[in-house]
Structure 1
Amino acid sequence: MSILPENLARYQKFLSFMLKYWNSDLLNETASNAMDEETARSFQDYEQTPEELVEDLKQMGPTYIKLGQLLSTRPDLLPDRYLEALSSLQDDLPTIPYAKVQEIIENELGIKISKSFNSFEEEPLASASIGQVHLAELRSGKTVAVKVQRPGIRKKFMDDLDTLEEMADLAVKHTEVGKKYGFNDVLAELRRIMLHELDYLREANNLVTLGINLKDYRRLIVPQPIPDYTTSRVLTMEYVKGKKITSVSPLKKTENDYLPLVDELIEAYLKQIVSDGFVHADPHPGNIHLLENEKIALMDLGMVAQFSKQMKEHLLRLLLGLSKNDGEEIADILLNMSDLTDHVTEKEFRREISIMVQESSNSTAKDMQTGKLLIQMNRSAAMNGIHLPVEVNILGKILLNMDQIIAFLAPEYDLREAVRKYMSKLLQNKMVNELKPEEIFSVLLDSKKLVENLPDRLDKITENLARNNFRLQIDAIDEKRFTDGFQKVANRITLGLIIAAMIMGAAMLMSVPSPFTIFGYPGLAIIFFMLAAVAGIYLSYTILFKDE
């Protein structure tokens, strides 16, 4: 670790935060949870509230805010209330002076603001950790939103990440808790996310991709970028006038029926998850805006998730299981998509999943149970030696945010019924797509390859059979463990025979007179009795408490 003077402020900030939480009940509970200790208490109220933790992370700066958002996907470590608080963690930093904004834009675009825009508002519409947004009008008369990256923010993020990684390396190297937490993995994921969010060209591409994927949803809008006015530090996109979806007034909610809007929003996210595999991964209410024309705009695509074909299949089956409230099927799906440790307790996991599903089976949107249910399942998996893929965490976070939005707009909405309906529709579309000529052609090519190779492979098999070179390798049991077990049984029997012989010999020696006595009895016989007793007690202890 290179603790240089210019780094002291960062170390001091980090250490002051850790000193506050180091001996807290929250961290102790989390550490016990990570170590699977039997002494871990049930999650309850702690000295530091979720709101206080959120405020402390805000004070630490943008890197720690992003870290808090990332930790909101780790239900194996934190209680539900903290996960909810962290999942909605948003920053509110001082604005960048207009002179600096003008300098950044002109350097990036290579042209004066006055020549690029008819007008450019000096006061920002919004300000966040990475950048701030200004309203402007292009020479064509089109109104746009211009997102400008904060000066020096890349270096600040990288410096903070370097500090965190140095501390994480020490924790992983010297503590079991650090290894169990997977600190290095968390920070590697944070670095990947930050590098993506700092590249506005990538975000512009994300906007284009999502816009194409959701083009059939007339109530949803994805603001599109203006390529000629976009660089890695400046993102210019279509301006949509609206407000945070959870800030709609009660009167407006009474006057409008938002069920069709909610239906379309849910269907669009299901399509992203199980059909496209390209998902807006941060749909908190601040990134979902309700427009004046009663449409919804999906904002801020710096963070997206991409699911493989196999993962889409798993998530499709998982959502279907949730929609049917089938705990046994859900447990099967989660086990099939997970990595199992040597200490897995599958029976207990299945029991807990069934109980969770049963308890939440009649919930409505106002109960906000779907996202919480996945988070609880994730925690149960961690406690039972099951490592669920990170995509399940992402899905849980998305549904947690969806629950919040739906509960606000349509409290009685039945999300699981909607999932069941849309899953049937998507399955039908999926089957139709798989019957397209290109899909059939792909299958035919695979079949052609199999037919071409089959004669050669059959020839090799028959040739090996004729020469008696054909071998089958079967991994049925662990041979060493099997033979070790037999050896242990043989050792136990041998020791038992020796103990019995010593007792019998001692009994016979009791009748033989001897000048050497112990407690008035022949000394040699008593010694044999004592040795047999000690050996017998040791053998009984190892059989009862040590043997698997």
Structure 2
Amino acid sequence: MKRYKEIAQLLWKYGRSDLVKQMASEEELGIDEPLLKTSPGDPPPEELADDLEALGPTFVKLGQVLSSRADLLPPRCLKALARLQDKVKPFPYADVERIVEAELGVRISKAFEYFNPEPLAAASLGQVHTAIMRDGREVVVKVQRPDVVPQVVDDFAALATVASFLDRYTKVGRQHRFGEIVEELRASIMRELDYQREAQHLILVGKNLAEFDLIQIPQPVPDFSTRRVITMDFVQGRKITKISPLARLEVSGFALADQLFRAYLKQVLVDGIYHADPHAGNVFLTDDGRVALLDLGMVGHTTPAMQNNLLKVLLAMSEGKSEEVADSLCDMSETDLGFDVVGFGKRVAALVVDRQGQHLRESSMGRTLLEVTRSAAEFGVHVPSEFTMLGKTLLQLDEVGRILSPDFDADAAIRRNTSELMTKRLTRDANKGNIATTLLDVKEFLSGLPVRLNRIMDLVAGKDLEMKVRAVDAPVIMEGLLKIANRIASGVILAALIIGASLMMRIETTWTLFGYPGLAIVCFLTAVAGGLYMVANIFIQDRRSERRANRPGVA
């Protein structure tokens, strides 16, 4: 209960008061106001960073994520939260020594020639120390914070409860599915806490980007890396945000930005694994003029099918083709029953047009992707989480690109590299394994083809060939056709009664009604009554069908 109280106090202090009130009143939650208040009476953003740090690693990590979301927060909040990227309060060296020696199974003085007791940087889940190996290799050692795993597990249990409440009782919760977002973030952070997995990421991504001479991925030392400790190359350089204007003149900013963007396109659209956290604290400019990507604990994955849709979306957006963007998003997404496809198309068109009208330095591919994702939920379109992560990654990449080269055009880079990306994808698909699998499938098909053809010809010759057609929802279709047939037959009968009555009006009879031949009047009145009954029955049946169609859970 203490954790719930701390979370509620944080929301009350910095969030919208109507959000906290709604957690008790169950009213509908709006989303038109900014996430954080920015009025003069609000607490300063620096205080928010301090409060998140006081709540522990999980909330520091949330602050890190928010620090790169320029689409959600104003600049002054982003600047304050940026401190959480690598300037969190460090934990004591005694804990560092205890964890390293327990994980490596040897004393620090035996494993390293030198180990700096002062941390180089401290973040949400761990902190980094410089060291020198016995062979003279300069490295950094990242050590996980003590007892961080159980704390993260407890925090996400509390956040999942809050998210579940919002999903169940608020409109915005049903639209955006906060429970799924919290679960995805929990799984991502738990993967980050496995430093052996990060070591594998460094090796794999480094191999995939070996062709880019201006990109550096520090490599791990496997024998000195465990689940809680990772040792890797020391990168000589500075964060790109710390580069002076004079230092920028000494490097080719456009070449660095272009190659970095091409490297990310290759990771996302060809390799299927990419560095998903390129915020300014994780991107260094090395002393030899290259860009180094650090901290590969958070990576994104894309399947071949997802890569096809992502390429379509990126190309269509770079060319301003909003209809193709909307169609591709609908193809890759889960949609609610009766989702508003027209409204969604109009919203996407508005976002794409706004982006096309922005100045080059204001335009952001990542920001537009995230805005499309948020808008999609309002219209019943639930975009895959991979798309949202890609949008966040591109938003961070846009910021890095502007620092390196303010005039870099991401749209032009996408169009410029499309043919190269397609060639690499075709080359990847044409590897020995895929060719062998395809040949085996063809061999199996050809070997069984004569037998199948003989069976078909025997059935045709013996007049035993049958074709069975299985209609979807056949009972419903037959019921509808039967209703139509009954209404047509009734209409024909009523029309015959009216025509017969009009013809019998000319025949004089001894029995009359209202001064007209009695049998003719009876036929006419029967037709009128039948017609009124048919109209009423059609109206009632249509209303019932409409209510059933609109009832939740009824298809």
TM-score, length of structure 2 as denominator length: 0.77
User: Which residue identity is paired with 1:228?
Assistant: D
Distance 1:83 1:373 in 2: 21
CA distance in 1: counterparts of 2:453 and 2:50, whole angstroms: 69
Q: Give, as a single letter, the amino acid of the residue that structure 1 aligns with 2:177.
A: G
Q: Using the TM superposition, give the Cα deviation of residue 296 of structure 1 relative to its aligned residue in structure 2, in angstroms.
A: 0.9
Matched, 1:260 2:255: yes
Counterpart for residue 3 of structure 1: none
Map Cα deviations across residues 159-199 of structure 1 (whole Å, 9 max, x no partner): 22233334445555666665554343223222211221111
| 164 and 80 in structure 1: CA distance in 2 versus 1, 3 angstrom threshold | closer
CA contact (8 A) 1:368 1:407 kept: no
Q: How does 1:92-111 map to 2 (within 5 A)?
A: 92-111=87-106
CA distance in 2, matches of 1:205, 1:414: 33
- Does the residue aligned with 2:210 lie in a helix, a strand or coil? coil
**Which amino acid is the alignment partner of residue 14 of structure 1?**
I
Q: Tell me how far apart the structure 1 counterparts of residues 10 and 116 of structure 2 sit (CA, whole Å).
A: 38
> Post-superposition shift, 1:121?
0.8
Per the alignment, do residues 141 and 69 of structure 1 end up closer, same or farther by CA in structure 2, a change over 3 Å counting?
A: closer
Cα deviation code 1:462-518 (max 9, x no counterpart): 67774465311133888269739959x97xx99xx9xxxxxxxxxxxxxxxxxxxxx
| Match of residue 528 from structure 2 | none
- Paired residue type of 2:472: D
Structure 1 residue 61, shift from structure 2 partner: 2.2
Q: Tell me whether 182-191 or 301-310 shows the greater mean CA deviation.
A: 182-191
> Which runs of 5 or more residues in structure 1 are unaligned?
1-7, 498-531
> What pairs up with 1:533-544 in 2 under 5 angstroms?
none
* Whole-angstrom CA distance in 1 between matches of 2:378 and 2:173: 17
Per the alignment, residue 523 of structure 1 pairs with none
Which residue is 1:215 aligned to? 210
Contact 1:365 1:410 in 2 (8 A): no
Q: Residues 182-261 of structure 1: matches in 2 within 5 Å?
A: 182-261=177-256
Per-residue deviation, 1:248: 1.2
Question: Distance in 2 between the 1:23 and 1:413 partners?
Answer: 37
In structure 1, what residue type is equivalent to 2:469? L
Q: Is the 8 A contact 2:224 2:231 kept in 1?
A: yes
**CA–CA distance in structure 2, aligned partners of residues 324 and 31 of structure 1:** 47
Q: Relative to structure 1, is the Cα distance of residues 72 and 90 closer, same or farther in structure 2, using a 3 angstrom cutoff? A: closer
Shift in Å at residue 458 of structure 1?
A: 4.7
Q: Deviations over 1:399-453 (max 9, x none)?
A: 1011111112211111111111112211123334445555443322222222234
Distance 1:475 1:461, change over 3 A: farther
**Residue 468 of structure 2 corresponds to which residue in structure 1?**
471
Q: Give the secondary-structure state (helix, strand or coil) at the position aligned to 1:367.
A: coil
TM-superposition CA deviations, 1:226-260 (whole Å, max 9, x none): 11111111111110122211221122224443111
SS in 2 for 1:470: coil
Structure 2 gap ranges (5+)? 495-532, 551-555
Measured in 1, the distance between the counterparts of 2:212 and 2:380 equals 41
Amino acid at match of 1:156: Q
Q: 2: CA distance between counterparts of 1:30 and 1:20?
A: 15
In the TM superposition, what is the alpha-carbon distance from 1:79 to its structure 2 partner?
Answer: 4.4
TM-aligned CA distance change 1:312 to 1:400, over 3 Å: same
- Tell me which structure has the larger Cα radius of gyration: 2
User: Over residues 114-147 of structure 1, what are the superposed CA-to-partner deviations in whole Å (9 max), with x where a residue is unaligned?
Assistant: 1111111111100112111111111101111011
Which of 370, 379, 382 is matched with 1:384 structurally?
A: 379
TM-score, with structure 1 as normaliser: 0.78
| Equivalent in the alignment of 2:497 | none
Counterpart in 2 of 1:418? 413
SS of alignment partner, residue 368 of structure 2: helix
Task: Tell me, in whole angstroms, the C-alpha distance in 1 between the residues paired with 2:141 and 2:218.
Answer: 12
Which of 423, 437, 441 in structure 1 is aligned with 2:436? 441
> For the Cα contact (< 8 Å) 2:16–2:35, is it kept in 1?
no
What SS does the corresponding residue of 1:185 show, helix, strand or coil? helix
Q: Out of 17, 28, 47, which is 2:37 matched to?
A: 47
Name the counterpart of 1:514: none
The letter for the 2-side match of 1:117 is F
- Structure 1 stretch displaced more, 109-118 or 321-330: 321-330
More displaced stretch, 366-375 vs 469-478: 469-478
User: How far did residue 71 of structure 1 move?
Assistant: 7.5
Residue 504 of structure 1: aligned partner:
none
Let me know the Cα RMSD of the aligned residues.
Answer: 4.1
Equivalence for 1:13: 6
1:346 alignment partner AA: V
2:127 equivalent to 1:132: yes
Change (3 A) 1:277 1:482: farther
Distance 1:372 1:174 in 2: 29
Task: For residue 202 of structure 1, give the secondary structure of its aligned residue in structure 2.
Answer: helix
Describe the SS at the equivalent of 1:366: coil
Q: 1:325 to 1:235 in 2, by over 3 A?
A: same
CA shift for structure 1 position 208 = 0.6
Q: How far apart are 1:280 and its partner, in Å?
A: 0.3
Give the secondary-structure state (helix, strand or coil) at the position aligned to 2:140. Answer: strand
The percentage of aligned residue pairs carrying the same residue is 36
1:80 and 1:98 map into 2 onto residues whose CA distance is 35
> Which residue in 2 is equivalent to 1:312?
307
Q: Is the 8 A contact 1:168 1:183 kept in 2?
A: yes
Distance in 2, matches of 1:168 and 1:352, equals 27
> Relative to structure 2, which stretch is displaced further, 452-461 or 248-257?
452-461
- The whole-number CA distance in structure 2 between the counterparts of 1:243 and 1:481 is 73
Change (3 A) 1:451 1:108: same
